[in-house]
């Protein structure tokens, strides 16, 4: 299936999910993430903040567990710079003041900047992914540009409410494939 068709279909399916179902799947995704991916002291984990009105995976359970169970791991979150068409990355602390941008994404204000090369693990939003690790997002390319600036050994882990599709027929040459995807009932890994 082509990206545009898949994007439309998956947005429709995700919006039809009851909020309680999204929250339950998100909790199970958090459990899968912590069971499958051991974290090391000093690592930086980049986590997207969810657009809850769009029924995105709620990453707050992951963030809260990182704060409680892994205080030695730094949490980075993105801020969208629309003028430059890039993401900047900021240390999320308890003191951070979050303000929603025009898309409904909470973003920290006046938080310490973290550079892409400092990030060890990136948790990526997605609408769909396929068996080769290609992902479909909202189509703006923000995460592909970010991943291109990361170290080559950064772990690229998608978070998905749904299992993979067979294939995405029109990947872009600039698309960066995922290493793994955490789902409510398991983990898909690049082979």
**Residue 191 pLDDT > 80:** no
CATH of 3-189 given 3.40.50.2300, 3.40.50.800, 3.40.50.10420, 3.40.47.10: 3.40.50.10420
What confidence score (pLDDT) does residue 133 get? 95
Give the pLDDT of residue 53.
87
Q: What is the DSSP string of 153-171?
A: T-EEEEE-SSPPBS--S--
The pLDDT score that the predictor gives to residue 171 is 85
- Confidence at 140, pLDDT banded by 50, 70, 90: confident
DSSP-assigned letter for residue 112? P
pLDDT of residue 122: 98
Question: In this predicted structure, what is the pLDDT of residue 94?
Answer: 87
Please name every residue paired with 130 in a beta bridge, in sequence order, or none if there are none.
Answer: 165
pLDDT at 105: 85
Tell me if residue 52 falls in helix, strand or coil.
Answer: helix
Distance CA 55, CA 189 (A): 24
């Amino acid at each position: 299936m082509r990206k545009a068709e898949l994007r439309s279909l998956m947005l429709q399916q995700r919006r039809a999910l009851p909020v309680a179902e999204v929250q339950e799947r998100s909790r199970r995704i958090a459990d899968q993430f912590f069971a499958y991916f051991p974290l090391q002291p000093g690592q930086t984990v980049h986590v997207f903040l969810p657009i809850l009105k769009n029924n995105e995976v709620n990453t707050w359970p992951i963030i809260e567990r990182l704060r409680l169970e892994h205080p030695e791991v730094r949490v980075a979150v993105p801020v969208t710079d629309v003028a430059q068409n890039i993401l900047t990355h900021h240390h999320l602390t308890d003191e951070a003041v979050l303000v929603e941008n025009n898309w409904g994404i909470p973003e920290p204000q006046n938080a310490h900047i973290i550079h892409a090369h400092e990030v060890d693990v990136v948790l990526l939003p997605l609408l769909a992914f396929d068996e080769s690790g290609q992902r479909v997002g909202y189509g703006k390319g923000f995460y592909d540009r970010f991943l291109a600036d990361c170290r080559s050994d950064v772990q690229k882990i998608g978070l998905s409410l749904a299992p993979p599709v067979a294939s995405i027929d029109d990947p872009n040459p600039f698309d960066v494939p995922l290493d793994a995807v955490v789902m409510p009932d398991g983990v898909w890994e690049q082979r």
